[in-house]
Amino acid sequence: KAGVTQTPRYLIKTRGQQVTLSCSPISGHRSVSWYQQTPGQGLQFLFEYFSETQRNKGNFPGRFSGRQFSNSRSEMNVSTLELGDSALYLCASSLAREEETQYFGPGTRLLVL
Amino acid sequence: AQKVTQAQTEISVVEKEDVTLDCVYETRDTTYYLFWYKQPPSGELVFLIRRNSFDEQNEISGRYSWNFQKSTSSFNFTITASQVVDSAVYFCALSEDRMDSSYKLIFGSGTRLLVRP
């Protein structure tokens, strides 16, 4: 079974631009979560989607948004990029319940100049 | 509030040594789940183990073993006879049983393990 895939793998943007990252979960997984990893803040939860609905949200500004499609694929969008948004963005999928394991994709490395 | 503490920022060992990575967690819930993930330089988080709060049995998988002690809120990870391929950052994480079944992992800050030949 194919794992979680994320595109693009690397991205360079400038301040003020917006960016969209994509995540395709493992087949059959309906929950998709996003995490931001930075050297200073570590791994932080962004949001989780299930059946096209956001079920949980971390403590991030409204510039960070996401959505999930009917095929469980998910996108996250960051508008008005700031230098501090430079990070590794990781997507994870699971079968949906909290006792299930989340499996992570390879991540998208975003650099904001 | 939930919290995961990995006090060891970096550990360096020589190949074939045993090494233990510490994890201490805080939660008010009685039902919760603990995880260990490995992050090699490529960046992807690789799942190693999941343990629920009602299962305190220790687990061994090859050279890996985990010691879960609710009395001390610890979930430590031991690698026996370490190998260079074990070099990575290891994260401990906590997930709580939520009424809405939503998913959120709280991660520790990670322990960077360097295994030298």
Is the pLDDT reported for residue B104 higher than 90? no
d(CA A11, CA B85): 28
The answer to whether A101 contacts B103, with C-beta atoms less than 8 Å apart, is no
> Quick one: pLDDT at residue B72?
95
The answer to whether B103 contacts A56, with C-beta atoms less than 8 Å apart, is yes
Q: What confidence tier does A99 reach under pLDDT thresholds 50, 70, 90?
A: low
> Quick one: pLDDT at residue A8?
97
User: What is residue B73's three-state secondary structure?
Assistant: coil
Distances (CA, A) of A13 to A6, A8, A41: 17, 13, 21
Q: What is the largest CA-CA distance in chain A?
A: 39
Nearest CA distance, B113 vs chain A (angstrom):
16
Which stretches of chain B sit within 8 Å of chain A by CB? Answer: 33, 35, 37, 42-47, 50, 52, 91, 95-98, 100-110
In terms of pLDDT, which residue wins out, B16 or B103? Answer: B16
Is the pLDDT reported for residue B99 higher than 70? no
Most B-contacting residue of A102, A109, A110 (CB-CB within 10 A), to test interface: A102
> Quick one: pLDDT at residue A49?
93
d(CA A24, CA A67): 12
* Residues of chain B positioned with their CB less than 8 A from the CB of A94: 103
> Quick one: pLDDT at residue B80?
97
Closest to A42 (Cβ–Cβ): which among B50, B98, B109? B109
Q: What confidence tier does B59 reach under pLDDT thresholds 50, 70, 90?
A: confident
Q: What confidence tier does B31 reach under pLDDT thresholds 50, 70, 90?
A: confident
Lowest mean pLDDT among A69-78, A94-103, B60-69: A94-103
* Residues of chain B positioned with their CB less than 8 A from the CB of A42: 107-110
pLDDT tens by residue, A66-86: 999 999 999 999 999 999 999
Q: Which residue of chain A has the CA closest to B44?
A: A106
